[in-house]
Structures are given as C-alpha cells and as structure tokens.
A and B are shown apart, each in its own frame.
Chain A
Amino acid sequence: MDLDLEGKVAIVTGGSRGIGLAIARRLAREGARLAICARDPARLEAAATSLAEAAGTTDAVVLARPADTSDAAARRAFVEQVLAKAGRIDILVNNAGTHLRATVDDLTEELLQRQLGDKVFGFLGMIQAVLPQMRRQGDGRIVNIIGQATRHPHPDRLPSGIANAAAQAMTKSVADAVARENIRVNSVCPQYIETDIIAATIEREMAARGVDRATAASGFTRANVLGRLGQAEEVADLVAFMVSDRADFVCGSSVSIDGGYNRYVFG
C-alpha cells in the first residue's frame, strides 16, 4: 500500500534509539526526510548514519541534533533549524520521554515535574512549535507515543500514569482544536516493546528478585495475550500508517499496540 510519504518532512523526537529510531527508519524507507533529536550526541550520530543507510541516501536526514524536548528553548531552536533546512514540516512524532517509576510513598514533586516535562510539556510544546508551519501548509500529521500506563495505572508507575493520562487528554483536545485546519493529531499506545528500557527493567527485576532472565521476562510476556514482547518495528509500521494519506480520516484516535495487554473494551 502506497503511504504517499515520499518527500514529506518528519520530526521524530527521541529518534536515536528504540521505538523512535524504528519510526524514523520506517518513515525514511517510505521516502520521508527525517529530522531527529535526542539527548545523547554520539547515539544521535549513529542513528543518522543508520537512517541514511535505510533510505539509501544521505538526503533522507535533514537534521540530527541534540535537544532535550523538555526544554522550551531547545524545542524552539530545533524546530527553527528544521524549517531553515527543509522549508516545511509535515509530520511530528512525539516520542521522546523517559518512563519514571515511583509510588505514592516515594514520588517527589521534582520527579513528577520531570515526567510531566517530557511527556506533557515536551509533547505539547513541540506541537505548539510546529503548528504555525503546519497551518501555513494546510496539512499536518501528529502522532503522540503514549505508553499504556494510561489504561493501566499501577502503584509503582504513578508518574507515568499521571503524565500519560494528561498526554491523552491533550491529544484529543488538540486534535479537536486543529482538525478544521487539516491537521490530524492521534496517539499510538505501545506496551511491552523490546527496547533498552524493557531490557533494563528486566535486569533490575533479575537483580531485585534474584531470578533468571526468562523468569524476570515472564512477568511481561505473561501479561499480554500474544505471550511475547513486541518489536519497535511493529510500532513504527502503525505510526507510518497513522501519519500517511491512507489514514486521512483518522483524527483524535488512540490506538493500542500492546499484544492484547490492556483490558479496555473500547480501547
């Protein structure tokens, strides 16, 4: 199916590894031109090289520049540079964000601020930064990557639970606000994707509980219907569909990609 993404300019935040890199790579393969940001310069450079390889051309990478999307000035500077280099912005994938664990007993205000800084202020700030250009174009596609702590609050995922629910509310509200200008905002909701974050969590479980990898991982694999972790590429394929012309009536929708993990009848 032709996604008609050839020549589209796409920003992927947190695009240097994991889900973000897989999304950037898929979009590059579909002919999009990528602007990625992340916090670690070395990883970012490696990611840019891999994107050019995936697309078969260095033209596929408009910009790869370190930026922390929880920082308003960094967001503005990044978007300005993308515009200066590419002249347009068709797609924004808000992916950058850490998953912070804490319970009601140990959650500090600072930690919650950090979580909100990534996933709420960071996402919203990026949207505000690209909107003027998307409005000028009369076309824009925005996808927010929001983990399933929204649909599954959990005592030790308090910061994510709060931030993700807020990000979902933001997604729907902004989708309503800009839809008439032909800018589509949606969310893609992954859970238990085999990334560095999951690997680190499994290692922590192994150390904390003194169990082997399979036992530690079974806590994840048992928790979804398919009995396996998902791959970052699978999330990337869904995102590519959502930002494509093939989804141009999909607006304000929140799509789960979690192997059946969530327990929502309407989700």
Chain B
Amino acid sequence: MELGLRDKVAIVTGGSSGIGFAVARRLLREGAKVFICGREPERLEHSLAELASLGEVQGTSAHVDRPADAEKLVEAAVAAFGGLDIVVSNAGTHLKGRLEELSVEAVEAHFRTKVLGPWELARRAAPHLRRRGGGRFILIIGQAGKVPGRGVLASAVVNAAQHAFVKSLSDDLGRDGILVNAVCPSRIASPLTDRLEIDEEPYLGRSLEQQESGWGRTVPLGRWGDAEDIADAVAFMASERAGYLCGANIDVDGGYQRMIF
C-alpha cells in the first residue's frame, strides 16, 4: 500500500535507539526525510551513521523535557529539510516503584518528560505543520495508561494524562488538518524493557483458569513484539492512508490491555 510519505519531513524524538530508531528507519524506507534527536550525542552519531544509507537523515542531541530544546529541535529540522509534516513524539521512559518510593519530584520530572515535553514540541511544531496545510502528530504511549498495576503507579498516571493530551490536542488541531493520534505499545523488546522486571502480579485481573494455565504471565499472543511492530503502526498513522483517524489510538500489545473499546 502506497503510504504517500515520499519527501515528507518527519521529526522522531528518542530516535537514536529502540522504538524511535525503528520508526526513523521505517519512515526513511518509505521515502520520508527524517530528523531524529536523542540525549546521548555519541549514540546519536552512531544511529545517524547507521541510518544514512536509507535516505536523508539528520539529527541533534536534545532533552525533550527542556522547553528550549524542543524549540531548537523543531527549528533545526525545518532548517535542514525546508518544512515539517510529521512529528513522532516517542522519547519517554518508565518510572517504576511503589508509593513510598516515588517522590513528588520524581513524578513531576516524569510528567515533564512525557506530557510537557510533547506539549512544547507540539506547540513549536504546529505553526510549521499549518504552513504545509496540515500534518501528523503521533504520540507513543505505554500501556500503563490503560493497564494500571502495583509498582506502575507513576507511569499509569502520567500515561493517562498523555491520552487526555492526545484526545484534547486532536480536537484543538484537527480543523487545521493536523491529525493527532497515539500508538500504544506494550511487551515490545527494546533497550528500555531489557531492564524491566515484568509484572509481579501475573494473577491480577485473571480468571482462575488463566492463572492456572500461565496465560496471565504474558500477553494473549504468547510472544513479545519488536520495535518494528510499532514502527509499522506509526508509519500507517503518519501516512496519507490515515486521513480520517483523529484522536484515535492503536494498541500494539499482543492483546495485553483489557479494555473492550
């Protein structure tokens, strides 16, 4: 299916590793020009070198939780490629811990990275997207937003705020032709999940049969996904084939989340 992404300009935050890197690679393969950012300059350079053979790619080191960095990132991308069509806000992290382990300061920093960072990025990007007659803003939201649990308190609260941000922002920008949507991964093998201890609570919310069969230990599909799975969903949402998706989200989680709609 032709996605119509050729020569579109895309920013991918957290694009130097894991899901962000896979998104950048997929968009490049579809013919887009891609501008990535990451926190560590060395890894960024390494990733840019790896992506270079696939198409036009540039990048800069940036911390998305710093408002000034968001502005610099957007301006650098526009300067590099002459405009902006797509923003994939992927940079984020997971804050694990039970109540007493989570200081208000830590939760605040988490909120700054995953909500206010994308907020400022959208604020800086919107004028450029409007100038092109519209565009796409895609937020990657981990499934703690839909699946709460012990020890994922901070991520659950902040990710739920990300969902509210996506839906509200889609209302705010939709009439300008800027479509805001989300892709919601879980159980995706990435550098972030290498260190992740999965679920001390495989029995929570599971029926007796599911507990006994071990079904609850992993997702319904019985396997983990990879970063490519997320990249493909993002590419579809960024594409011209997704012009009527607005304020929507796709779960790419092997069936993990429990909402029926």
Give me 30 A-to-B residue pairs in the complex whose CB atoms sit less than 8 angstroms apart, sorted by A's number.
Answer: A1-B3, A1-B232, A165-B261, A171-B260, A172-B258, A172-B259, A172-B261, A179-B221, A180-B220, A225-B246, A225-B247, A226-B244, A230-B244, A241-B236, A246-B232, A246-B233, A247-B229, A248-B229, A249-B225, A249-B252, A250-B229, A251-B255, A253-B250, A253-B251, A254-B259, A255-B248, A255-B250, A256-B248, A265-B167, A266-B249
Cβ of A186 to closest chain B Cβ, rounded Å? 9
Interface on B for A, CB 8 Å cutoff?
1, 3, 26, 30, 145-146, 160, 163-164, 167, 170-171, 174-175, 188, 215, 219-222, 225-226, 229, 232-233, 235-236, 239, 241-255, 257-261
Q: Are A266 and B255 in contact (CB under 8 A)?
A: no
The 4 closest A-B pairs by CB, nearest first: A225-B174, A249-B225, A179-B220, A260-B246
Selected contact of A234 from candidates B1, B222, B243, B251, CB within 8 Å: B243
Which chain A residues border B245 with CB–CB below 8 Å?
238, 255-257
Nearest CB to that of B141 among chain A residues? A266
Selected contact of A266 from candidates B146, B215, B219, B253, CB within 8 Å:
B146
Residue among B220, B247, B260, B261 with most chain A CB within 10 A: B261
What is the CB-to-nearest-CB distance from A84 to chain B, in angstroms, rounded to a whole number? 30
A contact set with B: CB distance below 8 Å? 1, 3, 26, 30, 150-151, 165, 168-169, 171-172, 175-176, 179-180, 182, 184, 187, 189, 224-227, 230-231, 234-235, 237-238, 240-241, 246-260, 262, 264-267
Residues of A contacting B175 in the complex (Cβ-Cβ under 8 angstroms): 225-227
- A223 nearest CB across to chain B (Å): 12
Distance between A55 CB and nearest chain B CB, rounded to angstroms:
14
In the assembled complex, the Cα of A231 lies from the Cα of B167 at a distance in Å of 22
Determine whether the beta carbon of B251 is less than 8 Å from that of A252: yes
Q: A234-B243, A252-B255, A254-B261 are in contact. Are A266 and B248 (CB under 8 A)?
A: no
Q: Are A260 and B261 in contact (CB under 8 A)?
A: no
B249: A residues at CB distance < 8 A = 255, 266-267
A150 to B253, CA, bound (A): 22
Tell whether, in the assembled complex, residue A168 and residue B244 are in contact, meaning their CB atoms are under 8 Å apart.
no
Q: Is the pair B233, A250 in contact by a Cβ cutoff of 8 Å? A: yes
Whether A225 contacts B170 in the complex (CB less than 8 A), given A249-B225, A266-B146, comes out as yes
What are the residues of chain A within 8 A of B145 when measuring CB–CB? 266
Q: Is A179 a contact partner of B243 (Cβ separation < 8 A)? A: no
Instruction: Identify which of A151, A227, A241, A266 gathers the most chain B CB atoms within 10 Å of its CB.
Output: A266
Partner of A267, one of B226, B232, B242, B248: B248
Q: How far is the CA of A254 from the CA of B146 in the complex (A)?
A: 13
Cβ contact within 8 Å between A225 and B243: no
Q: How far is the CB of A124 from chain B (nearest CB, A)?
A: 15
Contact A250 B251 (CB under 8 A): yes
B261 touches A175 (CB 8 A): no
Whether A259 contacts B254 in the complex (CB less than 8 A), given A225-B175, A227-B175, comes out as no
Q: Check B233–A238 contact: CB distance below 8 A.
A: no
Question: Looking across the interface, which residue of chain A has its beta carbon closest to that of B235?
Answer: A1
Q: How far in angstroms is the closest Cβ of chain B from A148?
A: 9
Residues of chain B lying within 8 A (CB to CB) of residue A171: 260
Contacts of B246 in A (CB 8 A): 224-226, 258-260
B253 near A180 with CB under 8 A, answer no
Evaluate whether A250 and B252 lie within 8 angstroms (CB atoms) in the complex, with A241-B236, A266-B146 already known.
Answer: yes
Contacting residues, chain B, for A252 (C-beta < 8 A): 220, 251, 255, 257
B31 to chain A, nearest CB (A): 11
Asked whether A1 lies within 8 Å of B220 as measured between CB atoms, the reply is: no
Considering the chains assembled together, what is the distance between the CA atoms of A110 and B219 in angstroms?
Answer: 40
Min CB gap A61→B, angstroms: 20
- A238 vs B3: C-alpha distance when bound (angstroms): 11
Contact yes or no, A249 B253, CB < 8 A:
yes
Q: How far is the CB of A57 from chain B (nearest CB, A)?
A: 18
Query: How distant is the Cα of A151 from the Cα of B259 in the complex, in angstroms?
Result: 12
CA distance A246 to B258 in the complex (A): 22
A1:B163 contact, CB within 8 angstroms: no
Is B260 a contact of A176 with CB atoms below 8 Å?
A: no
Q: Is the CB of A267 within 8 A of B261?
A: yes
Interface centre among A3, A255, A257 (most CB of B within 10 A): A255
